Structure 1
Amino acid sequence: MAMREHGTRTRSTWGLAVFLLVLVEALGAQAQPPSFTLPGRKPDSRESWGAFLGKAAHVAISREYSVRHPTNRVFLDPASLSRIVKEGNLGNPKRLSEFVRLLRPDITDTHALVLFEIKPDDEESRGEGREQARRYLTALNEAVDPDKQLKGGSDFEGSLFLEFENGGALWQLSWRTPEPGVTLYRWSYRRKKPNASWKERAAQKEEALPREEVEQRGELAEQAIQTAYDKGERPEGFQGQVYLPGDCN
């Protein structure tokens, strides 16, 4: 009898533990941003919405650098170190080890001999950017000719705005280069203000970009920025404007 009671208590305890585990996992899943179903990504993507915005930021910042230096030879990710050395006429790409030749810096200017790594504007990411830029520069400078040594770039900052509808939501992407080779970006948001120009709304209080805005409009952000730089037709569903840094000055 005692053995049966013990077995019953054991099964009950085990069943309760399994139930609590399932409940905790379910609550945890609900607490996470719905990062796997956001618009603008492949159905099987496991990329967080923060990384999705990062991709849009990389497109804008790297394209803006190219626009500002139209006569320079500028390589953007996904150009590899091997390609940069070869096509940039910097030296012998065979000097690159197999462990680094496929690395891809965000921006490499082989005319100005500078390099930039783009990261979110927080201390952890800044440290990662610093280390990545150092690694790229070390690898490149071991392969390039003595008179073509590269360094971390500087004096690169800017801001652009995305207006999704007249008088509606206004997103801002801004970036700065606080240390050589590390360009930091951040997204911000301005509330709706009907019948106000985008410049009037840009002067409003800056707020953190709401997650629901990303979920609703994330699909269009990168497409709209890409189209603005390519001077093409606006993407389907995008009724607003992209104000590039030249417009913001």
Structure 2
Amino acid sequence: MLDMKNSGTGTRSNLGLAGFLLVLVAALGAQAQPPSSTLPGRKPDSKEPWGAFLGKAAHYAIGGEYRVQHPSNRVFLDTSLSTIVKRGKLGDPERLSKFVGLLRPDITDTRLLVLFEIKPDDEESRSKGREQVGRYLAALTEAVEPDKKLTGGTGFEGALFLEFENGGALWKLSWRTPEPGVTLYRWSYRRKKPGASWNERAAQKEEELPREEVEQRGELAEQAIRAAHEGGERPKGFQGQVYLPADCH
């Protein structure tokens, strides 16, 4: 395997041991928008851009992996600030205005008192993530007890791999947290190489995930990642394998 670094609280804490996290989708030009009738994993009348669709899959996978890495913590994913303050027993949610209380950080850990905003790995998105984290923290300062003040989380990084068939196309979702609270992700791709070892796969040139790959396998990817997190069966037609960070040491 590759050598890698490495609430909902208890019910999903054994996800990393379940064996397989199934599948992922990819980072392409955020402005691309093919005809809605051909978009895999979406409703026929959806007008949502590709970037938004693929971003949701990344958020789902990264948030789930944070829970795996912190099984005993109280972790909230995409949850409103008012709910976090109330259920996390941090303070008085009534101190939040109605609008501010609806803001939703991507990951909030009320045991470690940290939060994260997940964004694509580019400068514009990074700047936006920084602004959002600042807004969340400022709002929470008004509502939480002095000894329960939250900060931007650090040190959260990792990667997930999806291999289609033996030696098939290899997809990778990787993420890092280069500044407090801002977790950046990117998708990448390695071409088919049947019969290759993991060391050989790791040594292959890393490329941008081709659009045709997303169109062909996007539906399987979205279905499988959710099935893995929710304990469901693999989607029909998926013959590959997915490797979590823990599987790659």
Please, what TM-score do these two structures have when normalized by structure 2?
0.83
**Is there any run of 5+ residues in structure 2 with no aligned partner, and where?**
1-30
SS of aligned partner of 2:238:
coil
Match in the other structure for 1:148 = 148
Closer, same or farther: CA 32–61 of 1 in aligned 2, 3 Å? closer
1:176 deviation in Å?
A: 0.1
1:197 deviation in Å?
A: 3.6
Match in the other structure for 1:218 = 218
Residues 54-85 of structure 1: per-residue CA shift (max 9 Å, x gap):
111101100000110011110001x2111100
Match in the other structure for 2:45 = 44
SS of aligned partner of 1:128:
helix
Deviates more, 1:49-58 or 1:59-68: 49-58
Paired letter, 1:107? I
Separation in 1 of the partners of 2:200 and 2:225?
Answer: 21
Structure showing greater radius of gyration is 1
Match in the other structure for 2:180 = 180
SS of aligned partner of 1:41:
coil
Please, what TM-score do these two structures have when normalized by structure 1?
0.83
Paired letter, 2:204? Q
SS of aligned partner of 1:155:
coil
Q: Percent identity?
A: 78
Closer, same or farther: CA 35–246 of 1 in aligned 2, 3 Å? farther
Separation in 2 of the partners of 1:214 and 1:183?
Answer: 23
Aligned residues: 218
1:230 deviation in Å?
A: 3.9
**Is there any run of 5+ residues in structure 1 with no aligned partner, and where?**
1-30
Closer, same or farther: CA 231–244 of 1 in aligned 2, 3 Å? farther
Match in the other structure for 1:55 = 56
1:202 deviation in Å?
A: 3.0
Paired letter, 2:112? A
Separation in 2 of the partners of 1:163 and 1:38?
Answer: 22
CA contact (8 A) 2:41 2:223 kept: no
Paired letter, 1:72? N
Indicate the RMSD between aligned Cα atoms, in angstroms. 1.6
CA contact (8 A) 1:228 1:242 kept: no
Q: Which has the higher helix share?
A: 1
Paired letter, 1:171? W
Residues 111-130 of structure 1: per-residue CA shift (max 9 Å, x gap):
00000000000000000111
